[in-house]
Amino acid sequence: SEAGDVVSCSWGANTTSVDARTTRALQSIEASGKWIVFAAGNAGYNGRNTVGSPASSVHCLAVSSINSDGTLSGFSSGG
């Protein structure tokens, strides 16, 4: 009854594709009604597709780093 509603992770791979095993795990967590949040990555924003795996999955929410003025940090991935 005291289980959390959010799974927050800050790890990833140097790819934007999500493998089948990770996808199944994310789908299982999603099906349990929990929010899944992953760091977008630290590759920098170099266009639309710089969010790393598993944050690039449709089964989770990707978050980026911002500066104190609300702009995207130079090292943070996005897209």
Residue 31: how many CA atoms within 13 Å on its side-chain side?
A: 6
The better pLDDT of the pair 21, 78 is held by: 21
Alpha carbon 18 to chain centroid, angstroms: 11
Q: Across the beta sheet with 6-9, what order do the strands follow?
A: 6-9, 35-39, 61-63
pTM for the full predicted model: 0.81
pLDDT at 1: 57
Question: Which pLDDT tens digit goes with each residue over 8-47?
Answer: 998 888 888 999 999 999 999 999 999 999 999 988 887 7
